[in-house]
Amino acid sequence: MAKIIAGVSSSHVPAIGAAIDNKQTEEPYWKRVFSGFEKSKEWMAQAKPDVVILIYNDHASAFSVEMVPTFALGCAAEFPPADEGWGPRPVPVVKGHPQLAAHIAQSVILDEFDITVVNKMEVDHGLTVPMNLLFGSPKEWPCPVIPVAVNVVLYPPPTGHRCFMLGRAIRKAVESYPEDLRVVVFGTGGMSHQISGPRAGLINSKFDKAFLDNLTKDPKKLTRIQHLEYMREAGAEGIEMVMWLVMRGALEDKVDEVYRFYTVPASNTAVGHIILEPHRRAAKKAAGKAKKPAGKMKRAAARAKTAVRRSR
Ligand SMILES: [Fe+2]
């Protein structure tokens, strides 16, 4: 069966993509940002997922104000990089996983979670920047990606609680897929930032760090944050943080935080990043339980052998 082996969250600042494309990653300003993802790339090289499910928002690249789905699931075989005004980013075409995506669509819709199925879609920096941060800049992305686009650009966006529950529904879908696939879920966007208006440039590190703490320890507390609180505390674009809750909902209640990085600023935003894995003690316990029947079987086999000897 397929299983979710980890959750990763990361900002998807467009200027990070521009810094990669313009070969500025070694400049002191950007080195501070990229150095925070070196360990993450090592972790990802070890994790070697078979599939990534990547939660992000489209920035008027695939969808315009004429049509904005609240939740959209990419079911295509491939997703080309979008032209966001300067030509498409020089990154590989994203290969999808249509079979698993179709299974997720069926599972979540029959689970009364009505998601929009998208069979043709270009993907923008919201998806490609986190791919670079976790996989570097290879010629081909190392695994298929299922994009899940969440509307956070046109009011009303979904609540954090609804996003969390979508994560739960995605986990149920993945765990009922018959092929042995190791899946990593990305939640992207945020953290605190506001790109226009009188509060442009707003960053609230205290709010961001508390969000990171609770993402690990008490995600249900985060599901109670209302839109106005995100706006007030994290700026107009801070609402993107609800997408991290899709990732968190896709994990078990107890997780281990294996890595965290936070720096300010990148462009005019805070950059946050976290890697969460299923809680080790719980995983060990599950492994122990799985072994018990084997132990019982050994003891039963020994008893059977003794019985055979005695009967001779
Ligand atoms: Fe964004």
Residue 299: predicted pLDDT: 57
Neighbours of ion ligand 1 (CB under 5 A): 189
Residues in the chain predicted with pLDDT less than 70, given as ranges, are: 281-283, 285-312
Cα(228)–Cα(239) distance, integer angstroms: 9
Residue 104: predicted pLDDT: 98
Residue 312: predicted pLDDT: 45
Q: Using an 8 Å Cβ cutoff, are 240 and 190 in contact? A: yes
Residue 4: predicted pLDDT: 98
Q: Three-class SS of residue 185?
A: strand
Q: Using an 8 Å Cβ cutoff, are 195 and 236 in contact? A: yes
How is 197-223 classified by DSSP, letter by letter? Answer: STTTT---HHHHHHHHHHHHH-HHHHT
Residue 283: predicted pLDDT: 65
Residue 311: predicted pLDDT: 43
Cα(216)–Cα(193) distance, integer angstroms: 22
Residues that are catalytic = 125, 193
Residue 123: predicted pLDDT: 98
| C-alpha 59 – ligand 1 centre gap (Å) | 6
| C-alpha 132 – ligand 1 centre gap (Å) | 15
* Residue 6: partners with Cβ closer than 8 Å, 6 or more residues away: 47, 49, 184, 185, 251, 258, 275, 276, 277, 278
Residue 54: both structure tokens together: 């990547």
Residue 280: predicted pLDDT: 85
> What CATH superfamily classification does 3-279 receive?
LigB-like (3.40.830.10)
* Residue 24: partners with Cβ closer than 8 Å, 6 or more residues away: 18, 30
